[in-house]
Amino acid sequence: MAGVIVLSDLEESSNTDILQGTRLQTVPAGGFLTFEMQAGENNATNNCTVSIQMPNGDTPLNNVQIPGSNPAGSGIIDDRQKLMITLPIAQGGHTVFSVVETGSLTFAWRVTYTPA
């Protein structure tokens, strides 16, 4: 049985498939994926949008603008401001997690897989 897997990183440019090439490229067993996201800024000049497409084609997030943080705390996922969503996931398949950045900013993310 698979255990908990936690991945996190900072993106400084758009990325069409964040989970590609990671331990969560394919989910090892049924369970849940929790996505936590925070942008360094969220204004007309500097912002980012995120999409999540599940293996069955569902898109629970489609170009959703991500909340910004205090610019002094860029790269920090703040529990008071982050966007978080937990989604059920079946074994196998590939979830596409993508970000489109506008302007100059940092996008912080963490994905946690929890087995059922």
Does residue 51 surpass a pLDDT of 90?
Answer: yes
Q: What is the pLDDT of residue 2?
A: 73
Chain segment 57-112, per-residue pLDDT in tens: 999 999 999 999 876 677 789 898 999 999 999 999 899 999 999 999 999 999 99
- The Cα–Cα gap between 55 and 106 comes to 27
Does residue 37 surpass a pLDDT of 80?
Answer: yes
Does residue 10 surpass a pLDDT of 80?
Answer: yes
| Strand boundaries in the chain, DSSP class E | 5-11, 31-39, 47-53, 61-65, 83-89, 96-102, 107-115
This prediction's pTM = 0.94
